[in-house]
Amino acid sequence: MPESADFFLRVHELVKQIPFGKVTTYGHIAAALGARSSSRMVGWALNAVAHADRFDIPCHRVVNRLGELSGKMHFETPFVMRERLEAEGVTFKGDAVDLAVHLWIPDA
Q: Set out the domains of the chain in order of their start, with CATH numbers.
A: 3-102 (1.10.10.10)
User: Residue 18: pLDDT above 70?
Assistant: yes
Express each pLDDT in 33-84 by its tens digit. Answer: 999 999 999 999 998 886 666 778 999 999 999 999 998 988 889 999 999 9
Q: Kindly state the DSSP code that residue 18 receives in the 8-state scheme.
A: S
What percent of the chain is predicted at pLDDT more than 70? 93
With beta carbons less than 8 A apart as the criterion, state whether 2 and 44 touch: no
Q: What is the DSSP string of 52-92?
A: TT--SS-GGGEE-TTSB-TTGGGSSSTTHHHHHHHHTT--E
Q: Beta 24-25 vs 62-63: how paired, if at all?
A: parallel
Active site residue 59: yes
Count Cβ neighbours within 10 Å for each residue of 25-57 and write b for 16 or more, e otherwise: bbbbbbbbbeeeebbebbbebbebbbeeeeeeb
What percent of the chain is predicted at pLDDT more than 90? 78
C-alpha dist (Å) from residue 81 to 58, 62, 88, 92: 10, 10, 11, 12
pTM of the model: 0.91
Out of 30, 46, 59, 69, which one is annotated catalytic? 59
